[in-house]
Amino acid sequence: MLFIVLMALPTMTIAQEISVRASVTETVVTMGEPFEYVIEVQGSVHVEAVQMGKVPRIEKQGESQSTSVSIVNGKVSQSRVISYTLVANSEGKLTIPATTVKVEGKIYQTNPVELTVVKAAAQAQNGSAAGGNTHPDLVFIKPVISKTKLYVGEATTVTYKLYERADISNVVVEKDVKPEGFWVEEIDLQQGRSSVPHTTEFLNGVLYRVYTVKKMVLFPTRAGILTNGVYKLNCEALLTKIKQQRGRTLLEDFDTFFGTLGKKVKIDVVAPEIKFEVVPLPEPKPVGFSGAVGKYIMNATLDKSKVKAGQPITFRFTVTGEGNIAAVSPIQLNLPDGFEKYEPKVEESISRQGGIVSGTKSTEYVVIPRAGGKFEIEPVSFSFFDPEKGEYKTLVSPRFEIEVEGETMVSAATPMADRQTLAKTGGDIRFIKTQDDLKYRPVPIYQSIWFYSSFLLPLVALLFVWMRKQKQEKLQGDVALARAYRASPEAKKRLKIASELLKQNKQKEFFTELEQTLVKFIGNKFNTDDLALTKEELRSLLQEKKVAPEIVEKCLQILEKSEYYRYAPTSQIKDDLNAVFNDAEKIISELSERPTSS
Amino acid sequence: MSTVWFLPAMLWAADEEAKQLFKEANQCYQEGKFNEALEHYKKLENLGYQSGALYYNMGNTYYKLGAVGYAILYYEKAAKLIGNDEDLRANLELARMRTKDRIQKLPPFLFDAIIERWIELFSLEGVAWGTIVSFYLLIAIAIARLQKLLRNQLAAQIGFYVALGITFFLAITFGAKSYHDALRAEAIVVSSTLNLKSEPKDEAKTILVVHDGLKVSIMRQLDEWIEVRLPNGDKGWAKATDIARI
């Protein structure tokens, strides 16, 4: 076919009207950036000279020419395209005046072209509003978002797909996404155009090649309206005027094959920013919830349930599931006293297979029991929020039972004092008292009447005893007084009797009477037991009472004489007897004058 | 006449009711229903019942509920009645360990320390009974001497003076203890954070911040403000509602 066309070319009669037209690829150009100015010559390929009009503020950077020949219904149409790469130096509206083209010896004038030059930034803004694509029909990006309304922590997958139907190359990421307020898990796509597998897709009746250029999983970390920023690519595309006019011809295909017909153009491909509506997690949150969102299962294992004191045991808790596994906090383990717990070993593995972030987080505790006995370990729990069902779920491990053999072991690592305080602070209070000793409005003992009045009883008793004693003593004192008082008259009476006996010369009776009179008198006088008085007692009594010694002597003499005469009565001289009587009378009168008490 | 007859019976019935309430409270405590247990105990206290066991149990309940300040308050109240109880001492120590303030006690004078120890050695009731017994003994010896019932005069004399000495000592101890109990007012901080002010008004400068469970001495009271002294000798004014008298 190619051959036929080539052979046919020279033989074909060229009977075609020649027309010349000028155009620019875009009417709005960015200042400083190159754009194409294309002159199309229809009907002939023999362009002899092109004379561009002088354009102020525009610079010519390059020139290229291409030729196309097409045969439609036996008619051959030829055309030549001359394109200039121009750069505008200042903004504003400007007109490229008519260009003079000499074709087959004839002079043709093109139409003038008007265009607007804008500043770079303004253009960008303009571009983003309009999608930013210079050739939206040829190349564009379509973002695919799994979900835009999310809970905090819920995963959403964002995929950027590049659609193209021009041969694009040199795809460069000019501006990457900047998701703020997100935890980003980038899905690794095998980059590099050649190896990226592509699919084809019909869109509005046009076939596109589709490439996945970026894929990521986003986890919002806070509530609110969050955006992920603009994604902008830059690529080179093979561009032909004809292509732009649509409708492919055989020749066009032919030219595309050789790569001579098209023209490489730099194209910006922009995906606008995506808005996400992030809502906070519902309240109330369960106890121990630490922000895990997704779908998880928990596995709890203990390597051995029977161990010797001092031997380590290992608790292993794994949380597996879909979600931001990095945000899952390690499982907390509470142990009873007597267990030494070390810092847990936390490991995580994250898989991003198939654009879903999943993985496992394991928390491993090495624990050393220090005391023997049977222990129950409280179950551990893990809470997470299931965004699909919109509810919290709490996973609880089974209760562990550990049997520790052996006596309490003391680890050398912990100093003794520390352990003691630990043991004490860790200990619990003692149990309540069950024996009630309730008292209804008790009065403190120092305020109670009973307490003070209890002292009164012995005091009263003492007073009673003392008073009785006083009375007794007083009574006794009264007897003495009476006897002393009675002593003298009684003695006088008895002395009279004695003197009568003396007159009758009854010696024996006289002495008896005299002795008795004397002893009784002294007894009465000093309030003693008169009958019991012996001579010696009498002497000591009188001495004690401080009676003058001569009286005492006399008194004793009388008693001696009385004894003597009583048992051996002799005819005594009456004078002697009279002397005895007088002595006795004298003693009595002498003692009577003494005060009774002393 | 009938009221006189029924009064003891009514009192007896009330006592039985109180005992029942105490039992119920203990049951609640044992079942871990500490709030209910506390309600019961409080009801008993409000009815006018007092006992070392009641205060001790209330201290335990407050401890379990996490109110260390109140726990210490009731342990201290119990200590006034059953000061020598071993369980009480252990729990009080444990509760004190959970308080936040670690205030160095002012080193007491030697004499004060000796008196303090000596006072702590006896319970008030013990001393009261001791005083009564020794006083009776003293009077008995005195009566015996008056009545000349004792043969050995010397032994009687020594016995009399020994009894007199013991009675005197115990009476003084009793007086000191009563004074300690009745007049030396102490209180426990019950609000979790207490700002001690320099003056008895809200706008006054905060000079110290203490926490629940601290034992303070009450110096004087001015309306709703109480001047307290900390164990280290610092003084400040506190609102009456922030502390509770032991």
CATH number listed for the domain at residues A476-592: 1.20.120
- Give phi and psi for A104, each to the nearest 5: 50, 45
Residue A557 CB partners (closer than 8 Å, separation 6+): A583
CB contact under 8 A, B87 and A433: yes
Residue among B137, B140, B156, B148 at smallest CA distance from A469: B148
pLDDT band of residue B6 (cuts 50, 70, 90) is: low
Residues from chain A that touch B174, judged by Cβ atoms under 8 A, are 446
SS (H, E, C) chain B: CHHHHHHHHHHHHHHHHHHHHHHHHHHHHHCCCHHHHHHHHHHHHHHCEECHHHHHHHHHHHHHCCCHHHHHHHHHHHHHHHCCCHHHHHHHHHHHHCCCCCCCCCCCCHHHHHHHHHHHHCCHHHHHHHHHHHHHHHHHHHHHHHCCCCCCHHHHHHHHHHHHHHHHHHHHHHHHHHHHHHCCCEEEECCCEEEEECCCCCCCCEEEEEECCCEEEEEEEECCEEEEECCCCCEEEEEHHHEEEC
The pLDDT of residue A463 is 92
Same domain for B90 and B11: yes
Same domain for B191 and B178: no
The pLDDT of residue A120 is 60
Same domain for B176 and B146: yes
- Pull the structure tokens for residue B63: 């401890």
CB contact under 8 A, A455 and B135: yes
- Is A284-424 a CATH 1.10.3470 domain? no
CB contact under 8 A, B22 and A424: no
Residues from chain B that touch A459, judged by Cβ atoms under 8 A, are 139
The size of the A-B interface in CB pairs under 8 A is 108
What are the pLDDT digits (tens) for A218-247?
888 888 888 888 888 887 777 654 444 444
- Give phi and psi for B38, each to the nearest 5: -60, -40
The CATH code of the domain that includes B76 is 1.25.40.10
| Closest-approach residue (CA) in chain B for A467 | B146
Same domain for B84 and B21: yes
What's the one-letter identity of residue A31? M
Using a CB–CB cutoff of 8 Å, tell me whether A449 touches chain B. Answer: no
What percent of chain B lies above the pLDDT cut of 90?
Answer: 26
Q: Domain boundary residue among B159, B182, B205?
A: B182
Distance from CA of B185 to the nearest CA of A (A): 15
Same domain for B157 and B119: yes
- B:149-208 residues touching chain A, CB 8 A cutoff: 174, 178, 181-182
Indicate if the alpha-carbon torsion angle A53, A59, A63, A68 is positive or negative: negative
Residue B104 located in a structural domain: no
Using a CB–CB cutoff of 8 Å, tell me whether A446 touches chain B. Answer: yes
Please name the helix (run of DSSP H) or strand (run of DSSP E) that holds residue A169, with its range, or none: strand A168-175
Instruction: Tell me the domain boundaries of chain A.
Output: 12-122, 131-277, 284-424, 476-592
Q: What is the mean pLDDT of chain A?
A: 75
Same domain for B128 and B167: yes
Q: Rounded CA gap, A76 and A130, in Å?
A: 40
- Pull the structure tokens for residue A114: 């008007």
Residues from chain A that touch B93, judged by Cβ atoms under 8 A, are 424
Distance from CA of B190 to the nearest CA of A (A): 20
Residue A350 CB partners (closer than 8 Å, separation 6+): A185, A325, A326, A357, A358, A359
Q: Rounded CA gap, A595 and A576, in Å?
A: 31
The pLDDT of residue A72 is 66
Number of domains in chain B: 3
Same domain for B46 and B32: yes
Q: Domain boundary residue among B69, B97, B125?
A: B97
> Which range marks the domain in which residue B159 is found?
110-182
Q: Rounded CA gap, B142 and A465, in Å?
A: 10
pLDDT band of residue B165 (cuts 50, 70, 90) is: very high
Which candidate from B97, B124, B181 shows the least CB-CB separation from A425? B97
Using a CB–CB cutoff of 8 Å, tell me whether B22 touches chain A. Answer: yes
The DSSP symbol for B149 reads: -
| Chain-centre distance for alpha carbon B22 | 21
Q: Are A179 and A229 in contact (CB under 8 A)?
A: yes
Residues from chain A that touch B44, judged by Cβ atoms under 8 A, are 438
Same domain for B227 and B155: no
Topology agreement, domain A284-424 and domain A476-592: no
Residue B105 located in a structural domain: no
This prediction has a pTM of 0.40
Using a CB–CB cutoff of 8 Å, tell me whether A425 touches chain B. Answer: yes
CATH: 3.40.50.10860, 3.40.1410.10, 3.60.150.10, 2.60.40.740. Which one for A12-122?
Answer: 2.60.40.740
Same domain for B209 and B162: no
Q: Domain boundary residue among B182, B199, B225?
A: B182
Residue B38 located in a structural domain: yes
- B:40-99 residues touching chain A, CB 8 A cutoff: 44, 48-54, 56-57, 60-61, 63-64, 87, 90-91, 93-95, 97-98
Same domain for B158 and B238: no
Q: Rounded CA gap, B63 and A173, in Å?
A: 65
Residue B103 located in a structural domain: no
CA dihedral angle for residue B2, residue B8, residue B14, residue B17, rounded to 10 degrees: -110
- Pull the structure tokens for residue A334: 């509470």
CB contact under 8 A, A446 and B182: yes
Q: Are A393 and A383 in contact (CB under 8 A)?
A: yes
CB contact under 8 A, B50 and A442: yes
DSSP-derived secondary structure for A48-61: EEEEPPP-TTEEEE
CA gyration radius, chain A? 71
pLDDT band of residue B10 (cuts 50, 70, 90) is: low
Same domain for B56 and B23: yes
CB contact under 8 A, A462 and B136: no
CB contact under 8 A, A429 and B49: no
Q: Rounded CA gap, A582 and A588, in Å?
A: 10
Residues of chain A scoring pLDDT < 70? 1-16, 72-74, 120-136, 189-197, 239-263, 406-427, 529-533, 568-574, 594-598
Give the C-alpha distances (Å, rounded to integers) separating B4 from A63, A151, B16, B146.
131, 76, 20, 45
Using a CB–CB cutoff of 8 Å, tell me whether A455 touches chain B. Answer: yes
Distance from CA of A294 to the nearest CA of B (A): 36
Same domain for B45 and B19: yes
pLDDT at B56 over 90: yes
